[in-house]
């Protein structure tokens, strides 16, 4: 008997024999991640090696020169890592598909502080080194350095970068609106541009005819080109090509829950190459809304010329979605994320969702490859027959041969309800073959962490666990 799956255009196609297809795909993806990580490390290593090869190695003869050389190395490493950070945030398809948006942004965030420390070391070591070489104190040296061409601009670049890193510290970030935080983050591009001239003018390091000059010019231009191409040109071109327009905005469940489904109509949506579980960044081009963009997952995969998101009003931006009028144009960035088939590593599938986290679960269930009996959906719902998109998920489970388990009731101490815990239920009791499956989890942070802890205890490897976070 041949099984059928629905592809992104809504057409039915026979299910290909699965075999170890998922395992192979996961291995290929993880291999690409390794290559990208190696390239990032190599880019910094090459920069330092070029410096040492082009005279840097001979600059360790006396304490002053040695300190300045260490300062230069710290500066080169910091600059190289800043370019890596920009590339991680540039939404380059190769990085997005291999690493995933979340992981790329998490890595981007983790590099910020080390770069700051390297930049501080760069300034302090150079100042001390130059002061020793010139036989003056550091204050006199600081005044002399200030007069160097492009130095004030470089210091401005450092100050901007400092603002970006400080705005990302958890305690500060929590107090900022997303839009304010994002605006400060855009300063990092200005920081790079401000720091650039001193690299080429001070110390003659990147003088004409050096390999260092060639290397840094290529690295900087390529990185900035990637940012412009994938953060500006591609979204603009995509929005113009697909011409998405809001067709309907309908409440989901009890209107007091503040949840709406927005169905949009567009052109050539198959060319979006979006799959279930992925998200886009949406900008509704209506008065009072066009200036903010928010990430929302697909709650239904593109079918023909339609796609859909489902949004819960959790703040200013999401609360305005219910008031969007049919006919409103929509600009998009994406698709992003590997909370999708792209990260599958096993034949079996376990989808676990709670609250509004049900949206990517619903679309992933729609498009994932599995045979009847190989997928289980576990939903935390307020009541047995009451849950957002529950009817649709039930119908999909029925037609695709997936098992649906709802865990109704109030909160529990862990991710399950107290009643479920009293019955001795846990992830393995609910999904006995969970260890053989890919687990996709989406819901409130603490709740999702509870599921993931149990999954690890059940023996799932890291590549089997996929978590979509709705917060930042
Ligand atoms: C990958 C992803 C997929 C998501 N999918 C859905 C979905 O399908 N349905 C749904 O209802 N919600 C989804 N969200 C959450 C949704 O993006 C936020 O609820 C919404 O942006 C809140 O904005 P606000 O102005 O209403 O509230 P605010 O008060 O401004 O923000 C509330 C919280 O939302 C987050 N947030 C706000 N703006 C952004 C942004 N541009 N980028 C990232 N995070 C932001 C922040 O964590 C903030 O703490 C998703 C979030 C992410 C990151």
How far apart, in whole angstroms, are the C-alpha atoms of residue 436 and residue 385?
A: 29
Q: Which two tokens mark 371? A: 């045979």
Domain with CATH 3.40.50.80 in the chain: 345-468
Q: How far is the CA of 21 from the centre of ligand 1 (A)?
A: 34
- In terms of CATH, what superfamily is 243-336? Translation factors (2.40.30.10)
pLDDT of residue 6: 47
Contact 263, 248 (CB under 8 A): yes
How far apart, in whole angstroms, are the C-alpha atoms of residue 85 and residue 80?
A: 9
State percent of the chain over pLDDT 70.
95
pLDDT of residue 262: 98
Q: How far is the CA of 314 from the centre of ligand 1 (A)?
A: 8
Closest C-alpha residue for ligand 1 atom 6: 296
Alpha-carbon dihedral angle through residues 335, 338, 342, 348, given to the nearest 10 degrees? -130
How far apart, in whole angstroms, are the C-alpha atoms of residue 142 and residue 123?
A: 10
Closest C-alpha residue for ligand 1 atom 17: 295
How far apart, in whole angstroms, are the C-alpha atoms of residue 182 and residue 188?
A: 10
Q: What is the mean pLDDT of the chain?
A: 90
Mutate to test the pocket of ligand 1, among 293, 296, 307, 319 (most ligand atoms within 8 A of CB): 296
Residue 362 has pLDDT above 50, yes or no: yes
Residue 106 has pLDDT above 80, yes or no: yes
Task: Tell me if 467 CB under 6 Å of ligand 1.
Answer: no
| 332 vs 315 pLDDT, higher one | 332
Closest C-alpha residue for ligand 1 atom 9: 311
Q: Which two tokens mark 60? A: 């360790």
Nearest to 85 by CA among 39, 40, 119: 40
- Which pLDDT tens digit goes with each residue over 363-408? 999 999 999 999 999 999 887 778 899 999 999 999 999 999 998 8
Strands of 465-468's sheet in order across: 403-408, 375-381, 348-354, 437-442, 465-468
Task: Tell me if 279 CB under 6 Å of ligand 1.
Answer: yes
Closest C-alpha residue for ligand 1 atom 21: 294
- Which pLDDT tens digit goes with each residue over 55-103? 999 989 899 999 999 999 999 999 999 999 999 999 999 999 888 888 8
Q: Measured in whole angstroms, how far is the alpha carbon of residue 115 from the centre of its chain?
A: 20
Q: Which atom of ligand 1 is nearest to the CA of 281?
A: 41
Contact 157, 194 (CB under 8 A): yes
- Which pLDDT tens digit goes with each residue over 188-203? 899 999 998 998 887 6
Q: Which atom of ligand 1 is nearest to the CA of 339?
A: 1
Q: How far is the CA of 436 from the centre of ligand 1 (A)?
A: 32
How far apart, in whole angstroms, are the C-alpha atoms of residue 83 and residue 89?
A: 10
The stretch 460-469 carries a mean pLDDT of: 94
Closest C-alpha residue for ligand 1 atom 19: 314
Task: Tell me if 297 CB under 6 Å of ligand 1.
Answer: yes
Q: How far is the CA of 471 from the centre of ligand 1 (A)?
A: 6
Contact 357, 388 (CB under 8 A): no
The total number of residues written for the chain in this structure: 472
Residue 15 has pLDDT above 50, yes or no: no
pLDDT of residue 2: 41
pLDDT of residue 97: 87
Task: Tell me if 356 CB under 6 Å of ligand 1.
Answer: yes
Q: How far is the CA of 295 from the centre of ligand 1 (A)?
A: 6
Closest C-alpha residue for ligand 1 atom 27: 315
pLDDT of residue 180: 87
Task: Tell me if 471 CB under 6 Å of ligand 1.
Answer: yes
- Which pLDDT tens digit goes with each residue over 322-344? 999 999 999 999 999 999 999 99
> What is the 3 state secondary structure string of the chain?
CCCEEECCCCCEEECCCCCCHHHHHHHHHHHHHHHHHHHHHHHHHHHHHHHHHCCHHHCCCCHHHHHHHHHHHHHHHHHHHHHHHHHHHCCCHHHHHHCCHHHHHHHHHHHHHHHHHHHHHHHHHHHHHHHHHHCCCHHHHHHHHHCCCCHHHHHHHHHHHHHHHHHHCHHHHHHCCHHHHHHHHHHHHHHHHHHHHHHHHCCCCCCCCCHHHHHHHHHHHHHHHHHHHHHHHHHHHHHHHHCEEEEEEEECCCHHHCEEEEEEECCCHHHHCCCCCCEEEEEECCCCCCCCCEEEEEEEEEECCEEEEEEECCCHHHHCHHHCCCCCEEEEEEEECCCCHHHCCCCEEEEEEEHHHHHHHHHHHHHCCCCCCCEEEEEEECECCECCCHHHHHHHHHHHCCEEEEEECCCCCCCCCHHHHHCCCCHHHHCCCHHHEEEEEECCHHHHHHHHHHHHHCCCCHHHEEEECCCC
Q: Which two tokens mark 341? A: 């088939």
Lowest mean pLDDT: which of 9-13, 98-102, 211-215, 252-256?
A: 9-13
Closest C-alpha residue for ligand 1 atom 49: 471
CATH numeric code, 345-468: 3.40.50.80
pLDDT of residue 472: 64
Highest mean pLDDT among 194-203, 415-424, 462-471: 462-471
- Which pLDDT tens digit goes with each residue over 255-305? 888 999 999 999 999 999 999 999 999 999 998 889 899 999 999 999 999
Domain with CATH 2.40.30.10 in the chain: 243-336
Contact 445, 469 (CB under 8 A): yes
């Amino acid at each position: 008997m041949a099984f059928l799956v629905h592809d992104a255009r809504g057409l039915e196609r026979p299910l290909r024999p699965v075999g170890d297809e998922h395992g192979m795909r996961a291995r290929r993806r993880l291999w690409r991640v390794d290559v990208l990580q190696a390239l990032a490390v190599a880019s910094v290593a090459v920069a330092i090696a070029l410096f040492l090869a082009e005279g840097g190695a001979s600059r360790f003869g006396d304490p002053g020169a040695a300190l300045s050389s260490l300062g230069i190395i710290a500066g080169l490493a910091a600059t190289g890592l800043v370019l890596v950070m920009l590339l991680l945030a540039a939404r380059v398809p190769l990085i997005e598909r291999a690493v995933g948006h979340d992981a790329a942004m998490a890595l981007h965030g983790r590099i910020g502080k080390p770069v700051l420390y390297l930049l501080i070391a760069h300034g302090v070591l150079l100042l001390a080194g130059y002061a020793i070489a010139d036989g003056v104190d550091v204050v006199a040296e600081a005044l002399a350095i200030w007069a160097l061409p492009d130095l004030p601009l470089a210091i401005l670049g450092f100050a901007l970068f400092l603002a970006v890193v400080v705005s990302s510290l958890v305690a500060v970030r929590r107090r900022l609106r997303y839009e304010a935080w994002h605006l400060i983050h855009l300063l990092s591009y200005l920081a790079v541009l401000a720091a650039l001239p001193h690299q080429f003018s001070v110390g003659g390091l990147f003088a004409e005819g050096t390999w260092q000059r060639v290397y840094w010019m290529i690295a900087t231009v390529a990185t900035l080109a990637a940012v412009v191409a994938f953060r500006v040109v591609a979204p603009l071109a995509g929005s113009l090509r697909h011409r998405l327009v809001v067709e309907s905005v309908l409440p989901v469940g009890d209107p007091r829950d503040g949840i709406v489904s927005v169905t949009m109509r567009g052109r050539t949506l198959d060319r979006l190459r979006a799959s279930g579980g992925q998200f886009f960044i949406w900008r509704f081009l209506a008065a009072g809304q066009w200036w903010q963009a928010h990430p929302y997952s697909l709650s239904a995969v593109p079918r023909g010329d339609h796609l859909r998101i489902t949004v819960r009003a959790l703040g200013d931006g999401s609360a305005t979605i219910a008031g969007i009028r049919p006919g409103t144009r929509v600009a998009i960035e994406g698709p992003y994320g590997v909370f999708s088939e792209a990260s599958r590593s096993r034949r079996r599938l376990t989808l676990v969702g709670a609250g509004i986290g049900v949206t990517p679960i619903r679309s992933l269930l729609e498009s994932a490859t599995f045979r009847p009996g190989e997928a289980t959906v576990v939903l935390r719902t307020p009541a047995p027959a009451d849950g957002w998109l529950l009817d649709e998920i039930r119908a999909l489970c029925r037609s695709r041969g997936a098992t649906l388990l709802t865990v109704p009731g109030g909160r529990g101490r862990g991710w399950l309800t107290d009643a479920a815990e009293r019955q001795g239920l846990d992830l393995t009791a609910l999904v006995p073959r969970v260890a053989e499956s890919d687990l996709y989890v989406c819901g409130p942070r603490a709740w999702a962490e509870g599921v993931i802890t149990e999954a690890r205890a059940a023996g799932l490897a890291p590549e089997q666990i996929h978590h979509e976070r709705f917060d930042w």
